[in-house]
């Protein structure tokens, strides 16, 4: 049977997503031809801002390269603009004369930037911000010129301004409205946003109306306002809106009105011609966000595949700003109005503002700044139209406070039900991601992107996808370090960053970022914790630990649980305790009404259900060191009873475990570290699956390294056999210090070992005696400089105030 001919005009995200969906539903129905006006295949247009900022490259944002089209038998014409549609002959014609006949035609011509009709708008250096060509022009201008002006204080304008500032330009944003992002934020949130952007070096002129773009020698030189004032400008970026690109459709006699008019099946008034994306007018609305465009694509593909059951009825949209270090979310009717009521939380000093708008006991709008953890949950409530009367009193504090499972910070993924949407752009729910991880054995965010499309569009849900990976894989999960650079904020690798910190004796995060010319002023969630660790591990007595660069558990000195409470684990050396410590624990449990107490697998007692505000008092009353159950540190040293009591024991494993734990417990590390000591080869303490496992034998001790429990269990490798307890401490300590000094942040010992090889470790720890002793000495120097500041400050009564600051 001869295939139908499907032609698509436009090669952007909405159009190619339509083709992907068609290929899923009816892979053999069409012979497909695509015309793209740009010289590039399908790329992620909404990630142009990170490219401009230098955080990603053009290659990083490619969604479907030319090989993808070839693999699916799609005829691709790049750099060919269609100028005519002959509806009678059913043929499209390109500017160079290339023709293609169609049985079905998709118009995916996108939008064009609106250029203000000002005198001088045709000067060199006046551009829009819509495609790779515009980004290239801005990057080139930043290398030759100093002053940039962005007209428009909307999402695109602010992202352009941020990128140009990171490229080294002096940037002023001119906005005609009273405050920034007036369509996405209210005045209070906009004020906080402006302050954050001013701290990054941006300048703002609000309620300013441009009269003329002033030129000199054919290039822009200044901007003149209606009040007569001027500012210098070597580059002017127009970011004042977009217009549906419907000129081609209009020229073919297809009904257009502020876009190509379509019905709920994405059909135009010509039933053979469909339209999707930013060129479309659906029910009087033209959408400029990716999530609605992908919803259109699914419906359009459903009808092109002759299924005939899809229907697009419009979209509820949400907004996020792609500027590193700024958390912003808005959705629905956040402005409120008649018959609505507002719930507001405002903390200007803390940089947090939340506004929820209710109408008839339903959430109809949300505006969040500084704390967007529960944005997805609010968006779900808004779209579902759920009655929130029963949870109104706790609504502002998020999902964890309304009886549903949920919590904040890096454990947010566990709060979500399988039906909750993770990726709004692609409509991917948590359950879809979990299923893909389990069925396909996925271990990285890139794997999840390929299998589910989650995090492959705007990228704002990448962190949440990573959390879902971590919660699904448990102890088996370890974020893959960047193959080339530490993160998008720098071109330096992890190893290069550590070397620079050591060679230049850098002692703080700002100092390190300034010296290494970080592209983002405040870094990101990936590089800040890593930088903090590299600084304090390299210069343990001199570098300043930055609490805000640690995860919430380390800041709170407790493990956050899925109901929003915390668990506290006091340290028990080698699993040993005594009557006095047990009484203290029991008294604390009574005083703070601890709902659950359990013995952990690491031979300690865990107190669950402690409120955040009670943590300082709990630690003060316990008067015991923290077990670091939350930390990238030494967690536990598990022991068996050994030769002191067991009839099979050959060595005193309990005392050896206590000695190891007391020696190393103040040690911060790239990841969590667990030790175990067994008194005989029967290995009751499970030493063979620990980062360092020590097993007693008749003639001394055997030391094993690089073990790991969890979904993907790794058995530790034999390192060395020694005779004395002192040698156990020295060899174990040298191995751990080598790991501390050379592993990438968030590497478990097993992953570091797999990269460097056991032979390398043996050379450093076994063969080089002076090197081993130096490693051990450096570890002892580091841990002796550490104290247990949380307990000390809590006892002194100073912790409560600091706790409130550190856990924001």
pLDDT digit string, tens, across residues 183-234: 888 888 889 899 989 988 999 999 999 999 999 999 999 999 999 999 999 9
Residue 487 annotated as binding? no
- Answer whether 380's CB lies under 8 Å from 225's CB: no
C-alpha span between 366 and 185 (Å, rounded): 9
* Average pLDDT of the segment spanning 779-807: 52
Q: By residue range, what is the domain housing residue 512?
A: 494-549
Q: Is residue 166 included in any domain, yes or no?
A: yes
C-alpha span between 803 and 566 (Å, rounded): 14
Do both 276 and 216 map to the same domain? no
Do both 598 and 649 map to the same domain? no
Residue 164's domain is classified under what CATH number? 3.50.50.60
Q: Is residue 416 included in any domain, yes or no?
A: no
Residue 680 annotated as binding? yes
Residue 559, token pair as written in the block: 């493990």
C-alpha span between 399 and 552 (Å, rounded): 17
pLDDT of 795 above 70: no
Q: Is residue 466 included in any domain, yes or no?
A: no
Residue 594's domain is classified under what CATH number? 3.90.480.10
Do both 225 and 80 map to the same domain? no
∠ CA 424-425-428, nearest 5°, is 60
Q: Best-predicted range by mean pLDDT among 268-277, 474-483, 654-663? A: 268-277
Residue 403's pLDDT band, with cuts at 50, 70 and 90, is very low
Do both 254 and 105 map to the same domain? yes
Q: Best-predicted range by mean pLDDT among 32-36, 416-420, 654-658? A: 32-36
Among 240, 263, 296, where does a domain finish? 240
* Average pLDDT of the segment spanning 592-608: 87
Residue 640 annotated as binding? yes
Do both 34 and 68 map to the same domain? yes
Q: Is residue 806 included in any domain, yes or no?
A: yes
Comparing 32-36, 60-64, 804-808, the range with the smallest average pLDDT is 804-808
Do both 667 and 779 map to the same domain? yes
Running DSSP on this structure, what letter comes out for residue 668? Answer: B
The per-residue DSSP string of 8-53 comes to EE--SHHHHHHHHHHHHH-TTSEEEEEE-SSSS-EE-GGGHHHHHT
pLDDT of 456 above 80: no
Comparing 19-23, 291-295, 358-362, 400-404, the range with the smallest average pLDDT is 400-404
Cα separations in angstroms, 772 against 566, 725, 737, 762, 769 = 40, 16, 9, 10, 5
Do both 775 and 808 map to the same domain? no
Angle between helices 430-440 and 462-473 (to 10 degrees): 50
Do both 655 and 780 map to the same domain? yes
pLDDT tens digits for 728-741? 999 999 999 999 99
Among 211, 240, 269, where does a domain finish? 240
C-alpha span between 695 and 718 (Å, rounded): 11
Instruction: Please count the structural domains in the chain.
Output: 5
Q: Is residue 400 included in any domain, yes or no?
A: no
Do both 622 and 737 map to the same domain? no
Q: Is residue 447 included in any domain, yes or no?
A: no
Residue 789's pLDDT band, with cuts at 50, 70 and 90, is very low
Q: Is residue 357 included in any domain, yes or no?
A: no
Residue 423 annotated as binding? no
Q: Is residue 323 included in any domain, yes or no?
A: no
pLDDT of 472 above 70: yes
Q: What is the pLDDT of residue 484?
A: 56
Do both 611 and 689 map to the same domain? no
- Answer whether 740's CB lies under 8 Å from 775's CB: no
Q: What is the pLDDT of residue 802?
A: 39
Do both 197 and 263 map to the same domain? no
Rg of the chain, C-alpha, whole Å: 30
Among 484, 514, 549, where does a domain finish? 549
pLDDT tens digits for 86-137? 999 999 999 999 999 999 999 999 999 999 999 999 999 999 999 999 999 9
pLDDT of 268 above 90: yes
Do both 94 and 38 map to the same domain? yes
Q: What is the largest CA-CA distance in the chain?
A: 96
Between 518 and 713, the more confident residue is: 518
């Amino acid at each position: 049977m001869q295939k139908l001919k499907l032609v698509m005009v436009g090669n952007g995200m909405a159009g190619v997503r339509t083709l992907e969906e068609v290929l899923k539903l009816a892979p053999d129905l069409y012979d497909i031809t695509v015309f793209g006006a740009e010289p590039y295949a399908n790329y992620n247009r909404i990630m142009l801002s990170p490219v401009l900022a230098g955080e990603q490259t053009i290659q990083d944002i490619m969604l479907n390269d030319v090989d993808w089209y070839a693999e699916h038998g799609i005829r691709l014409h790049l750099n060919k603009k269609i100028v005519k549609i002959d509806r009678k002959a059913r043929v499209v014609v390109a500017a160079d004369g290339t023709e293609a006949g169609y049985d079905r035609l998709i118009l995916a011509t996108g939008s064009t930037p609106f250029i203000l009709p000002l005198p001088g708008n045709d000067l060199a250096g006046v551009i829009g911000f819509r495609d790779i060509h515009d980004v290239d022009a801005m990057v080139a201008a930043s290398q030759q010129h100093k002053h940039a002006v962005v007209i428009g204080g909307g999402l695109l304008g602010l992202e352009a301004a941020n990128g140009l500032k990171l490229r080294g330009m002096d940037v002023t944003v001119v906005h005609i409205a009273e405050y920034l992002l007036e369509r996405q934020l209210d005045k209070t949130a906009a004020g906080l946003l402006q302050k954050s952007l001013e701290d990054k070096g941006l300048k703002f002129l609000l309620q300013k109306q441009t009269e003329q773009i002033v030129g000199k020698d054919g290039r822009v030189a200044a901007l003149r306002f209606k009040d007569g004032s001027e500012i210098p400008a070597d580059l002017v970026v127009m970011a004042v809106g977009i217009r549906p690109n419907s000129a081609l459709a209009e020229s073919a006699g297809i009904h257009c009105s502020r876009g190509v008019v379509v019905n709920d099946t994405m059909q135009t008034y010509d039933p053979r011609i469909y339209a999707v994306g930013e060129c479309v007018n659906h029910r009087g609305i033209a959408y400029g966000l990716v999530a609605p465009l992908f919803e259109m694509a699914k419906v359009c593909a459903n009808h092109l595949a002759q299924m005939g059951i899809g229907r697009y009825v419009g979209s509820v949209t949400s907004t996020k700003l792609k500027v590193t270090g700024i958390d912003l979310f808005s959705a629905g009717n956040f402005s409120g109005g008649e018959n609505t009521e507002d719930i507001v939380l405002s903390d200007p000093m803390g940089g947090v503002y939340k506004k929820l708008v209710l109408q008839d006991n339903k959430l109809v709008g949300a505006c969040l700044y500084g704390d967007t953890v529960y944005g997805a949950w609010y968006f779900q409530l808004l779209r579902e139209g759920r009655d929130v009367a029963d949870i109104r009193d706790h609504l502002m504090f998020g999902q964890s406070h309304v009886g549903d499972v949920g919590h904040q910070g890096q454990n947010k993924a566990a709060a979500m039900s399988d039906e909750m949407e993770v990726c709004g752009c692609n409509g991917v729910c948590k359950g879809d991601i979990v299923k893909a991880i389990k069925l396909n054995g996925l271990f990285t965010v890139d794997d999840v992107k390929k299998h589910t499309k989650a995090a492959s569009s705007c990228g704002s849900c990448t962190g949440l996808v990573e959390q879902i990976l971590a919660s699904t894989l448990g102890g088996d999960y370890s974020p893959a370090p960047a193959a080339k650079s530490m993160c998008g904020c720098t071109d330096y690798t992890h190893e290069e960053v550590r070397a620079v910190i050591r060679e230049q004796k850098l002692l703080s995060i700002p100092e390190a970022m300034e010296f290494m010319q970080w592209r983002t002023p405040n870094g990101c969630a990936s590089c800040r914790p890593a930088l903090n660790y590299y600084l304090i591990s390299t210069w343990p007595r001199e570098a300043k630990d930055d609490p805000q660069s640690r995860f919430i558990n380390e800041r709170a000195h407790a493990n956050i649980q899925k109901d929003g409470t915390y668990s506290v684990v006091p340290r028990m050396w080698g699993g040993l305790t005594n009557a006095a410590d047990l009484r203290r624990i029991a008294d604390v449990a009574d005083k703070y009404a601890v709902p659950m107490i359990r013995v952990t697998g690491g031979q300690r007692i865990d107190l669950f259900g402690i409120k955040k505000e009670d943590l300082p008092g709990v630690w003060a009353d316990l008067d015991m060191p923290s077990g670091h159950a939350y930390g990238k540190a030494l967690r536990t040293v598990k022991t068996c009873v050994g030769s002191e009591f067991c009839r099979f024991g050959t060595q005193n494993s309990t005392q050896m475990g206590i000695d190891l734990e007391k020696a190393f417990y103040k040690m911060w590390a790239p990841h969590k570290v667990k030790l175990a000591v067994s008194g005989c080869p029967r290995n009751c303490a499970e030493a063979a699956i620990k980062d360092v496992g020590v097993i007693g034998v008749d003639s001394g001790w055997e030391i094993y390294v690089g073990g790991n429990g969890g979904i993907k269990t790794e058995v530790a490798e034999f390192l060395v056999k020694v005779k004395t307890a002192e040698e156990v401490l020295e060899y174990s300590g040298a191995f751990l210090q080598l790991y501390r000094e050379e592993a990438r942040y968030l590497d478990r010992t097993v992953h570091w070992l797999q990269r460097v090889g056991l032979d390398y470790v043996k050379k450093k720890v076994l063969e080089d005696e002076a090197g081993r002793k130096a490693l051990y000495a450096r570890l002892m120097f580091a841990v002796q400089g550490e104290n247990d500041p949380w307990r000390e400050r809590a006892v002194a009564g100073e912790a409560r105030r600091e706790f409130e600051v550190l856990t924001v």
